Structure 1
Amino acid sequence: MTMMPNWLKQRAFLTPERVAVSDGKRSKTFAALHEAAAVWARRLARVGVKEGEIVALLMKNRIEMVELVHALFFLGARVLLLNVRLTAYELGWQLDDSGARLVIADNDLAGRLGGDGRVLSVEELAALPEAEVDEKETCDLDDVATIMYTSGTTGAPKGVMQTYGNHWWSAVGSALNLGVQENDCWLAAVPLFHISGLSIVMRSVIYGMPMRLQPSFDPEEANDWIMRGEVTVMSVVAAMLQRLLAVLGDARYPDTFRCMLLGGGPAPRPLLEACKDKGIPVYQTYGMTETASQIVTLAPEYSLTKLGSAGKPLFPAQLRIENDGKTAAPYEAGEIVVKGPNVTKGYWRRPEATAAAIRDGWLYTGDIGYLDEEGFLYVLDRRSDLIISGGENVYPAEIEAVLLSHPDVEEAGVTGIEDETWGQVPCAFVRLKPGAAADEEALRAFCRARLAKYKVPARIYFVNRLPRNAAQKLLRRELKTLIPAEEKPASHP
């Protein structure tokens, strides 16, 4: 058991007048953030929230979401971060699987779950009287602080447990790598319900650093803040960076901007070269929900000589490439395996999945990559079949499961195809049952009712067979060969 003072309470004591969070219109100091969180905690106590219980947040990026995360920490509750882009079915499944007793939702999202009695809007919560409650003075680094669901390669979503220690060491590892400067302000234009966004909330209170929030990504506003020197660090995925560059035009960022942290999958080389030409300091990074954000980042002095690499592990972490149970040689592709205090201790209520993924403290990511002779990581594939669309993880098996539940579908396979806007989008290949007559639009409408918009196949092709190996395992990598020749872009083989 390793105890630390409650982070927000300690930060408000140490630097009460520093700005904690701003959205460009409103801002709050750490003292004001602490008081607001304490008020929310007393209201949550009124509805009976107790230590150890799971409370879900269904909210978009705004100051109140930051306040409520800390309010739940004050009570010792575990925070389940819900993706606002999911369907009612997907949200309900996560709530039931996690055992969450309450959902705090933005007013315009509260109706998403229909008559679910667990849902309380932010407005309804704000109207409640406050109950007396003792704020937790400390946190145990071994305790679970947050839970985020991520689909595995089998398509079944799993709740990743993130401890206070995972968040602490993620913030420390990032600081040791990227540094922390007195004028730093980190822009969170990525969702706070993703680890890339939530980690900024954690860094803010641990570092005593202001964070700037965008409810949704606005490249014009982001560039304006950067050009005025109000933002020094920003987290992006490739699709966001492309939009920032398009808006920037011939201009260049000021020297006050020092770090563009680029995650969400391998970046196209032309994008990195365009940033190099414009002097934009891009730090490529590799991480996942299970590692509480980045675990590998490319240090700036190597940005040109190691273009395309995700870098080396953060100071507290370890990394190796494993192939057939042995450590791979330099440049030999294999599974990326990581270890460190920012790595999850497992999946919520999934002991079998935990045992399969974590062995002797090492997390077997399922991602494919190699190390060069100097130990720099190059990521070849994120979980080989994984589709990364606009920074969102899309797992083919999850979409296949929905398609296979349609009465007309005999077989289904899903893979990613290149897309100029999103990097990749899912594409499905379906064999219908004899006599069935479902068309593409009918199947896409069926998917839209059951999957988040970004998971719905951009195209559905009807085929006579799907590629399988001798063991009848679907060969997703060969699915693209089934695209009619007249529709294949030049990049397709």
Structure 2
Amino acid sequence: MIPNWLMQRAYLTPEKAALSFGDDTWTFAQLKHKSMQLAEKLAANGLQEGQRIALLGPSNADMVFIIHACMLTGLEIVMLNSRLTTKELEWQLEDSGADAVIVADDMSAVIANSAVRLLPYSTIEQSEGQPFVVQDLWTADRTITIMYTSGTTGFPKGVRQTVGNHVSSALSSVLNLGLNDKDVWLCAMPLFHISGFSILVRSVLYGMEVRLYEKFDPIQTAQEIRDGSVTRMSVVSLTLDKILRELEKDNAMAHPSFQTMLAGGGSVPVDYLERAVQRNIPVLQTYGMTETSSQTATLAAGDAMRKMGSAGKPLFFNQIKIKDMKNPYDKGEVFIRGPHVTPGYIGRFSAVHPLEEGWLPTGDIGYFDEEGYLYIVDRRSDLIISGGENIYPAEIENALVAHPGVSEAGVCGREHSEWGSVPVAFVVVTGNVPVEELRLFCEQRLARYKVPKEFRFVDKLPRNASNKLLRRELREWVEQE
């Protein structure tokens, strides 16, 4: 059994700062009080322990209160990506079987026609509270969150993340990073992503303040890092570069109290690491996924320059192996094992067991060097990482071939100086199909970051003898420009 996170933390350190957003700050006691009030209002709206709800809203303080209220009520939370289109959201709502959608008022129009019951923030706030008994202890196998991750089939998978998964992830992280009583973690990651949500989990387990941003602001972030008002932050390469650029404008350095820049979402360019060293910013590269509740391996700051491009070694409770590896540098699929690994999926993929003989096959290709440091060659061979967002080509291809004038579609990534990579679509059409028509067609079905930045018309796509699309040849076409 594991203590109810917020109840235990508010008991242990009630007056310690828990959350700051804008000019406002809440202690753990205040966070518990406000979240408990909302939990009683959720109960008054008929939501009970064990039910599954979806949550859609911006990454602000209200979202934090709602998240904690849902956990206090005993609900499973389907974290919806606010950047998705109506069609994508409706698919996830149907697949998840959510009993209701708790939604920020200004986002309710996006899912106004959903068959699932809508429960706007304002409706909750205006409700009279209904007291109920809060569970002081949780079982490790209780599902806390469900996050959708794009699958290689083009259909998103709803990944279950349990109490035990989140606790293991947080403990592994703190054993690696350490903990200071004055730690403040700047969170500019979306709370619907595992990278953002895991920071909230660390906050209540560690007794650490979260400095929350609704959207990433490079100017303000750089100011906080140089002033010493924050000590840690999670970034992707794109946001790291923007922060460095702001510091470089004034030849400014990170405050001596700044401890960690945790960089995920793909390898960090060597140039960025060298520039970070010049600004006194310790960058720790990390490797993880939705199915592992954030970090699985992390490169120590002291190894950042010596082991450039490496994701480091597995964190304490975790294990990683390379399939069929016999010697260092042998490349193969990365397999993961540990208490942080999901027990399974929901909805369409609920019957799919995620493990093979106790190991999670990631689909990523990597290798270990002679010292046991992990290197990822491809984050799934066809995966496109754009600004830290994972984009699967199959999902875009499925959207494109739905157009009546498109008979075939193939998608790959193209390197981009700002976003890291962007999708490029190769299409075989019947008749005259304008590019703008295809772009609009995609925008109505895909989140903006998934819409191809370039459309190329071809007579045929490269395929093997089994008619399987060869995306590696598409990448070669792009590189031959």
Q: Give 1:401 deviation, angstroms.
A: 0.3
Query: Is 1:432–2:432 an aligned residue pair?
Result: no
Q: Deviations over 1:433-487 (max 9, x none)?
A: 2xx211111011000000000000000100011111122111111113445xxxx
Contact 1:38 1:135 in 2 (8 A): no
Percent identity over the alignment is: 50
Partner of 1:421: 418
Partner of 2:287: 286
Q: Give 1:346 deviation, angstroms.
A: 1.1
Distance 1:439 1:236, change over 3 A: same
Q: Alignment length, in residue pairs?
A: 478
Counterpart code for 1:360:
E
Report the Cα distance in structure 2 between the residues aligned to 1:389 and 1:128, rounded to whole angstroms.
Answer: 41
Contact 1:23 1:212 in 2 (8 A): yes
Q: Give 1:349 deviation, angstroms.
A: 3.4
Q: Give 1:134 deviation, angstroms.
A: 1.2
Partner of 1:127: 126
Of stretches 133-142 and 364-373 in structure 1, the one that deviates more from structure 2 is 133-142
Contact 1:463 1:482 in 2 (8 A): no
Contact 2:237 2:268 in 1 (8 A): yes
Partner of 2:196: 197
Counterpart code for 1:386:
L
Q: Give 1:122 deviation, angstroms.
A: 1.1
User: Which residues in structure 2 correspond to 1:120-159 (within 5 Å)?
Assistant: 120-159=119-158
Of stretches 93-102 and 343-352 in structure 1, the one that deviates more from structure 2 is 343-352
Contact 2:95 2:348 in 1 (8 A): no
- Partner SS state of residue 109, structure 1: helix
Report the Cα distance in structure 2 between the residues aligned to 1:26 and 1:279, rounded to whole angstroms.
Answer: 29
Partner of 1:408: 405
Partner of 1:306: 307
Report the Cα distance in structure 2 between the residues aligned to 1:406 and 1:328, rounded to whole angstroms.
Answer: 47
Partner of 2:163: 164
Query: Is 1:456–2:454 an aligned residue pair?
Result: no
Contact 1:343 1:363 in 2 (8 A): yes
Within the candidate set 325, 328, 332, 1:327 is matched to: 325
- Partner SS state of residue 62, structure 2: helix
Report the Cα distance in structure 1 between the residues aligned to 2:379 and 2:361, rounded to whole angstroms.
Answer: 12
Q: Give 1:327 deviation, angstroms.
A: 3.3
Counterpart code for 1:444:
R
Q: Give 1:183 deviation, angstroms.
A: 1.0
Consecutive unaligned residues of structure 2, counting only runs of 5 or more, are: none
Query: Is 1:478–2:477 an aligned residue pair?
Result: no
Of stretches 405-414 and 295-304 in structure 1, the one that deviates more from structure 2 is 295-304
Report the Cα distance in structure 1 between the residues aligned to 2:240 and 2:57, rounded to whole angstroms.
Answer: 24
Report the Cα distance in structure 2 between the residues aligned to 1:458 and 1:11, rounded to whole angstroms.
Answer: 46
Calculate the TM-score normalised by the size of structure 2. 0.97
- Partner SS state of residue 310, structure 1: strand
Within the candidate set 69, 78, 81, 1:80 is matched to: 78
Partner of 1:53: 51
Query: Is 1:444–2:474 an aligned residue pair?
Result: no
Contact 1:328 1:334 in 2 (8 A): no
- Partner SS state of residue 327, structure 1: coil
Within the candidate set 32, 35, 56, 2:33 is matched to: 35
Q: Deviations over 1:281-311 (max 9, x none)?
A: 0000000000000110001221221111100
Counterpart code for 2:73:
L
Q: Deviations over 1:18-76 (max 9, x none)?
A: 00000131110000000111111111101111111111111111112111111111111
Counterpart code for 1:359:
E
Q: Give 1:81 deviation, angstroms.
A: 0.4
Contact 2:157 2:349 in 1 (8 A): no
Query: Is 1:387–2:384 an aligned residue pair?
Result: yes
- Partner SS state of residue 220, structure 2: helix
User: Which residues in structure 2 correspond to 1:189-338 (within 5 Å)?
Assistant: 189-249=188-248, 250-322=251-323, 326-338=324-336
Report the Cα distance in structure 1 between the residues aligned to 2:33 and 2:42, rounded to whole angstroms.
Answer: 14
Q: Deviations over 1:138-165 (max 9, x none)?
A: 1111111100001111111110000000
Q: Deviations over 1:382-416 (max 9, x none)?
A: 11100011111100000000001110111100001
Runs of 4 or more consecutive aligned structure 1 residues displaced over 3 Å after TM superposition: 349-354, 480-483
Report the Cα distance in structure 1 between the residues aligned to 2:360 and 2:201, rounded to whole angstroms.
Answer: 23
Q: Give 1:266 deviation, angstroms.
A: 1.4
Distance 1:86 1:351, change over 3 A: closer
Distance 1:187 1:353, change over 3 A: farther
Report the Cα distance in structure 2 between the residues aligned to 1:127 and 1:457, rounded to whole angstroms.
Answer: 43
Q: Give 1:352 deviation, angstroms.
A: 6.8
Report the Cα distance in structure 2 between the residues aligned to 1:328 and 1:286, rounded to whole angstroms.
Answer: 22
Report the Cα distance in structure 2 between the residues aligned to 1:442 and 1:353, rounded to whole angstroms.
Answer: 38
Distance 1:427 1:351, change over 3 A: closer
Contact 1:321 1:327 in 2 (8 A): yes
Report the Cα distance in structure 1 between the residues aligned to 2:34 and 2:436, rounded to whole angstroms.
Answer: 48
RMSD: 1.3
Q: Give 1:212 deviation, angstroms.
A: 0.4
Distance 1:327 1:482, change over 3 A: closer
Report the Cα distance in structure 1 between the residues aligned to 2:388 and 2:46, rounded to whole angstroms.
Answer: 36
Report the Cα distance in structure 2 between the residues aligned to 1:216 and 1:358, rounded to whole angstroms.
Answer: 35
Q: Give 1:328 deviation, angstroms.
A: 4.2
Contact 1:262 1:283 in 2 (8 A): yes
Q: Give 1:115 deviation, angstroms.
A: 3.2
Contact 2:228 2:254 in 1 (8 A): no
Consecutive unaligned residues of structure 1, counting only runs of 5 or more, are: none
Partner of 1:376: 373
Partner of 1:468: 463
- Partner SS state of residue 204, structure 1: helix
Contact 2:247 2:279 in 1 (8 A): no
